[in-house]
């Protein structure tokens, strides 16, 4: 008789969906509140990010099975998870809200992914928490799918971002201006530590607690600073550097975050909270889509200035740690904040040089002028930002800079005002060609990756969400997702996704916070 096979210890220890290791709940347990997700009536898995699941060391099939879906709906807390609601504050549209926090979110736990990176796994829409104030703690399906889609689009564009692992329809309705289907989004982030997290502990608890948070943040995101003699000043500078680059990369693809409150700015340097965000089509620095941003505080062209403003709020929380001598701390922190515009400008120049296919050999001022003049031209002609820059790449690829003016005039259509427009384009193209007559293969490859064909265009996003929410039809969403996951290859079959919305659509288009 055969002896029964005894399972090896590691088979016995098969993780329940994820191998959690919850450093925040463990090390900063007094920075959050242990809390359980609210159950969903009839959970249905609508989207699962299989590639991301695998990256997290999870089995996509297990996640899609009933036990997995129950976990992703909040109906079952998987072994090893320690759900917590995180405390944070924040400056919203310039005014300080001392108590925000996870009002409709929970951090389920953390995993160390296949690349050795620690990632948060968190819910959005998982019910009320002690931080909910008057909110219902829920998330409507449309905003959950929107966050999923835009996060994937940003990731494919190479921009640091939180990503969505799953969207589960709860089977419950949520009340907004009308009843809407509810959903739980599972979000994966480098962490959920925000400028507002620091503001919360500075406002309510003082420097000792801020220091613990700062030490945790350094260990998690900037371990190279741990041995520094000035770790907190260096932390500020390091966060500023990541934000300087992040915003430059947003600007390079026409992204408008829409609600750059300090609670929506991460210390990790990832883009977070896809609420009223949108991609600009016709180029104008004043572009705003958010219904709640009537003053244009968070317009496309203001984002670098806002990032700096937010970093100043972070700096204020760190002052007592930077130096015991408070005037000296202010001087040191101010130097970092004042250096931000220059740091951002350096990243911006790098991003836009890549968009024009320029090497780094010429004087920065010469290239800055060339880029600025191109932006002025496309602004004057009311051209689509993405198409205009892609036209530069296409012209380079065909080694035909002389064809650029005709292509841009074709894009302008009836917006061409005079023969001067054509002459200006010809003159600019000649300058561009003269600046970089030879485009080496590496430069051309970088230029391609800087100039997508496909961005998440507002009319396409709305059509996909409308089909999903109003007609239970996820096909347009999945088709759009597929297009946005490969943004750099022009595909004839996807040509429609590269076209801007009609002027009528864009004139009336507004985005909303996902509340």
- Rounded Cα gap, residues 469 and 343, in angstroms: 42
171 three-state secondary structure: strand
- Rounded Cα gap, residues 485 and 511, in angstroms: 22
- What does the block give as tokens for 319? 């002052």
DSSP states of 54-68: HHTT--HHHHHSHHH
Question: Closest separation between CB of residue 180 and ligand AMP, Å?
Answer: 12
Is the sign of the CA dihedral 131, 135, 140, 146 positive or negative? negative
How many residues make contact with ligand AMP (CB under 6 A)?
Answer: 18
Catalytic one of 234, 263, 367, 394: 263
Interacting residues with ligand AMP between 70 and 109 (CB under 6 A) = 100-105
DSSP states of 109-130: EEEE-TTS-EEEEEEES----T
Question: Closest separation between CB of residue 514 and ligand AMP, Å?
Answer: 6
- Closer to Mg ion by CB, 129 or 264: give it: 264
Question: Closest separation between CB of residue 17 and ligand AMP, Å?
Answer: 25
Question: Closest separation between CB of residue 264 and Mg ion, Å?
Answer: 5
Among 76, 91, 119, 138, binds ligand AMP (CB under 6 A): 138
- Closer to ligand AMP by CB, 174 or 406: give it: 174
Q: Does 273 bind Mg ion (CB under 5 A)?
A: yes
Among 230, 403, 433, 515, binds ligand AMP (CB under 6 A): 515
What are the distances in angstroms from CA 20 to CA 138, 261, 310, 448? 25, 30, 32, 38
- Closer to ligand AMP by CB, 176 or 459: give it: 176
- Rounded Cα gap, residues 84 and 289, in angstroms: 33
7 three-state secondary structure: coil
Catalytic site includes residue 263: yes
Residue 275's binding partner, choosing from Mg ion, ligand AMP, none, with beta-carbon cut-off 5 to 8 A by kind? ligand AMP
- Closer to ligand AMP by CB, 85 or 450: give it: 85
DSSP state for residue 6 in the 8-state scheme: P
- Closer to ligand AMP by CB, 76 or 257: give it: 257
Residue 100's binding partner, choosing from ligand AMP, Mg ion, none, with beta-carbon cut-off 5 to 8 A by kind? ligand AMP
506 and 282 in contact (C-beta within 8 Å)? Answer: yes
Give the H/E segment covering residue 47: strand 44-48
Residue closest to ligand AMP, measured at CB: 135
Interacting residues with ligand AMP between 262 and 321 (CB under 6 A) = 263-264, 273, 275
- Closer to Mg ion by CB, 289 or 497: give it: 289
Q: Does 386 bind Mg ion (CB under 5 A)?
A: no
Q: Does 199 bind Mg ion (CB under 5 A)?
A: no
- Closer to ligand AMP by CB, 86 or 458: give it: 86
Among 49, 161, 264, 386, binds Mg ion (CB under 5 A): 264
Task: Say which residues have a Cβ less than 8 Å from residue 226's Cβ, sequence separation at least 6.
Answer: 218, 219
Is the sign of the CA dihedral 69, 74, 75, 81 positive or negative? positive
Question: Closest separation between CB of residue 95 and Mg ion, Å?
Answer: 15
Q: Does 136 bind ligand AMP (CB under 6 A)?
A: yes
Residue 381's binding partner, choosing from Mg ion, ligand AMP, none, with beta-carbon cut-off 5 to 8 A by kind? none
* Nearest partner of 310 among 275, 342, 274, 337, judged by Cα: 337
Residue 99's binding partner, choosing from ligand AMP, Mg ion, none, with beta-carbon cut-off 5 to 8 A by kind? none
91 and 261 in contact (C-beta within 8 Å)? Answer: yes
Please, is 171 exposed, middle or buried when counting C-beta atoms within 10 Å of its C-beta (0-12, 13-18, 19+)? Answer: middle
Residue ranges that bind Mg ion, judged by CB under 5 A: 264, 273
> Active-site residues: which are they?
263
Give contact residues for ligand AMP (rule: CB under 6 A): 100-105, 131-132, 135-138, 263-264, 273, 275, 513, 515
């Amino acid at each position: 008789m055969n002896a029964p096979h005894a399972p090896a210890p590691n088979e016995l220890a098969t993780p329940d969906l994820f191998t959690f290791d919850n450093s925040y709940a463990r090390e900063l347990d007094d920075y959050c509140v242990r809390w359980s997700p609210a159950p969903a009536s009839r959970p249905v898995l609508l989207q699962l990010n299989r590639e991301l699941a695998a990256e997290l060391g999870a089995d996509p099939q297990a996640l899609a099975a009933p036990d997995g879906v129950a976990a992703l709906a909040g109906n079952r807390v998987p072994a090893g998870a320690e759900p917590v609601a995180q405390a944070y504050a924040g400056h919203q549209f310039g005014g300080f809200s001392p108590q925000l926090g996870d009002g409709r979110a929970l951090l389920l736990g953390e995993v160390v992914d296949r690349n050795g990176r620690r990632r948060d796994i968190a819910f959005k829409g998982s019910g009320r928490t002690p931080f909910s104030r008057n909110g219902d703690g829920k998330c409507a399906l449309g905003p959950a799918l929107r966050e999923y889609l835009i996060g994937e689009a940003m990731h494919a564009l190479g921009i640091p971002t939180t990503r969505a692992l799953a969207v589960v329809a709860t089977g419950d309705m949520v009340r907004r201006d009308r009843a809407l289907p509810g959903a739980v989004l599972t979000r994966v982030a480098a962490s959920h530590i925000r400028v507002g997290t620091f503001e919360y502990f500075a406002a309510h608890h003082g420097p000792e607690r801020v220091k613990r948070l700062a030490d945790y943040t350094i260990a998690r995101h900037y371990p190279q600073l741990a041995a520094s003699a000035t770790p907190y000043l260096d932390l500020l500078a390091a966060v500023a550097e990541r934000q300087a680059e992040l915003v430059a990369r947003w600007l390079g693809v026409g992204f408008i975050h829409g609600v750059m409150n300090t609670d929506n700015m991460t210390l990790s340097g990832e883009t977070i909270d896809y609420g009223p965000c949108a991609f600009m089509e016709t180029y104008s620095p004043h572009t705003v889509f958010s219904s709640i941003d009537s003053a244009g505080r968070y317009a496309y062209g203001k984002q670098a200035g806002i990032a700096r403003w937010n970093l100043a709020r972070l700096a204020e929380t760190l002052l007592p740690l930077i130096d015991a001598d408070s005037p000296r701390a202010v001087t040191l922190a101010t130097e970092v904040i004042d250096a931000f515009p220059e740091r951002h400008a350096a990243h911006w120049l790098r991003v836009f040089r890549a968009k024009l296919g320029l090497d780094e050999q010429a004087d920065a001022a010469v290239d800055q002028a060339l880029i600025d003049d191109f932006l002025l031209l496309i602004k004057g002609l009311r051209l689509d930002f993405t198409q205009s820059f892609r036209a530069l790449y296409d012209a380079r690829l065909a080694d035909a800079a002389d064809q650029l003016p005709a292509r841009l005039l074709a894009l302008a259509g009836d917006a061409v005002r005079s023969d001067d427009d054509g002459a200006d384009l010809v003159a600019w193209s000649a300058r561009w060609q003269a600046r970089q007559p030879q485009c080496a293969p590496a430069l051309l490859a970088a230029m391609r990756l800087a100039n997508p064909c496909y961005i998440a265009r507002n009319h396409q996003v709305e059509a996909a969400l409308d089909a999903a929410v109003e007609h239970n039809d996820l096909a347009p969403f999945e088709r759009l997702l597929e297009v946005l996951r490969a943004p750099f290859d022009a595909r004839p079959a996807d040509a429609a996704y590269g076209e801007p919305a009609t002027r009528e659509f864009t004139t009336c288009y507004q985005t909303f916070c996902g509340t």
